[in-house]
Structure formats: structure tokens, C-alpha cells
Amino acid sequence: MSFYFMASFTKSPVKVRSSAKTTLSANGRIVIPAAIREELGFAPGDMLLMEVHDGVLLVESFDARLARTQDELIQLAGPERMVSDELIAERRAEAWREQVEADQERNALLEQKRKAG
């Protein structure tokens, strides 16, 4: 069984690929050669994420994935768009609508009491 190992740590595409040959141990472990670990900034204890796409094993650090995901979200939302501000504005509008409805219900009840009383 063969596999292709690709890892990512940088935000921009890597122009030159490093390659190495390694062996899968009996208990399923592989060793990432030191030169590749250094190039990617992997350190002992780092959390690494793995995915398989079309038979290719992809490995990247959690920090690299987080940075890449944040960059993708900024591109989707725009650098000046603050989703948190939008959520706060939506919640304030919803709270205002709820208050208007509550006031209307209270006024209707008061009107009923006034007519009945």
C-alpha cells in the first residue's frame, strides 16, 4: 500500500514540495522526517489534523488550519465586516420587536379591563 503525504503550515501555496519516503509501522505509526517537520514548523506535542482526499493523506497543524479558515472567512465576509456587530444589531432589532409586541399585548389587556370595569 502506498500513500502520498502532503502537509501544510504556511498560508500561501508552497511552490517546491518536499518529499520523503517513510514506512508504516506495525501499529500504524509513521515518522515525519525531521527536515519536513522543521520546514512545516511541527513541534513535539503539536495537534495535527489529518484528512484523506482522493486517496491522498493530508496533514496540517491545527494552527495552520485555524489561520487558513480565518483567512477564508475574511475573504467571504470582507475585512471590514464584523459578523459579531451584525449579530448584535439583529438581536437588538429582535428585542425591540419583542418589546413592541409585549407593549401591544399589555395595552390590549388594559383596554379590555377598562371596558369591563
Q: Sorting pLDDT into bands at 50, 70 and 90, what band is 2?
A: very low
- Residues 86 and 61 occupy one common structural domain: no
Domain that holds residue 29: 5-68
Q: How far apart are CA 41 and CA 64, in angstroms?
A: 10
The pTM for the full model equals: 0.50
Residue 93 lies inside a defined structural domain of this protein: yes
Q: What is the pLDDT of residues 30-42, one digit of tens each?
A: 999 999 999 888 9
Q: What is the pLDDT of residues 8-32, one digit of tens each?
A: 555 555 455 788 889 999 999 999 9
Residue 75 lies inside a defined structural domain of this protein: no
Average pLDDT score over residue span 80-87:
81
Among the ranges given (16-20, 22-26, 54-58, 107-111), the one the predictor scored with the smallest mean pLDDT: 16-20
Residue 90 lies inside a defined structural domain of this protein: yes
Mean residue pLDDT of the chain comes to: 85
Q: Coil, strand, or helix at residue 117?
A: coil
Other beta carbons within 10 angstroms of residue 6's beta carbon come to 14
C-alpha cell at 107: 395595552
pLDDT at residue 61 greater than cutoff 70: yes
Work out how many domains the chain is built from and give that number: 2
Q: How far apart are CA 42 and CA 15, in angstroms?
A: 19
User: The dihedral of CA 30, 31, 37, 39: what is its sign?
Assistant: negative
Higher pLDDT, residue 12 or 49: 49
Q: Identify the CATH number of the domain in which residue 27 sits.
A: 2.10.260
